[in-house]
A and B are shown apart, each in its own frame.
Chain A
């Protein structure tokens, strides 16, 4: 069981309190009704699924109940960092070489 740092609770908590909520930084278009079919497809259906660093949404559903963002390495399964919902994608990751 992983430990995940909740940016709202400001500490690591057991994975059982959390739930994954899919890829992060996919904003719902403000005028969604006017989106083209292609744009809607990109927004709704297409996801990255990288081998390596992934930006995800998690919810501390059995804790503070907040959604937040996490950077996780899908190869090592390690969390690189977590940050609050609405905050921008970090430009530099801790310990990253590039």
Chain B
């Protein structure tokens, strides 16, 4: 191989287009609207208890330690997924991965911005829509605003976050988004009945 071929371009070029899965897809049904959410920054954060203070400080949001809860500050949400596991979703365009990189305390931060997609399910029939495939009790008492949980929807795993009394954020892996969106859409059409 000639050496010339091995040389790479020095100057930074403009990045290619980002094409999020199902971008712009929406469905409106009586009592509920299902729509794809714009891209967000996300990390999967794993850490022992001893590191939580340092990580919370770096992230600017206090990592919740109570199961099925989340904490939100300045467009950044920390979802408790397991006793040493959080998902950080940043909708303000800041990079939580970079914030964690500064922390020396023991942890693992892995970027998953592109792994997941977010789907909004909003309206008075939102809970019924999600309940078409999710077996958890989604009453406001059992799953209050801010509640977050990994669970299932039909045959797909999802992470469910209640963002308001009648609004949920459904997170799923990119390749499951078509299934999840379609199931939610079909369920939405039945939910107001």
A and B, direct touch (CB closer than 8 Å) = yes
Interface residues of A (CB under 8 A from B): 1, 8-11, 13-14, 16-17, 62-66
Q: A1-B135, A8-B67, A17-B151 are in contact. Are A64 and B85 (CB under 8 A)?
A: yes
Q: A16-B152, A63-B150, A64-B150 are in contact. Are A8 and B83 (CB under 8 A)?
A: yes
**A62 contacts B67, CB within 8 Å?**
no
Interface pairs (26), CB distance under 8 Å: A1-B135, A8-B83, A9-B149, A10-B67, A11-B67, A11-B68, A14-B135, A16-B135, A16-B152, A17-B135, A17-B151, A17-B152, A62-B151, A62-B157, A63-B150, A63-B151, A64-B82, A64-B83, A64-B85, A64-B150, A65-B81, A65-B82, A65-B85, A65-B150, A66-B82, A66-B83
Interface residues of B (CB under 8 A from A): 67-68, 81-83, 85, 135-136, 149-152, 157
A-B contact count (CB 8 A): 39
> Residues of B contacting A62 with CB < 8 Å?
150-152, 157
A-side interface mostly:
loop
Q: Which residue of A lies closest to B68 (CB)?
A: A9
> Residues of B contacting A63 with CB < 8 Å?
82, 149-151
Q: How far is the CA of A9 from the CA of B3 in the complex (A)?
A: 58
**B136 contacts A14, CB within 8 Å?**
yes
B25 to chain A, nearest CB (A): 24
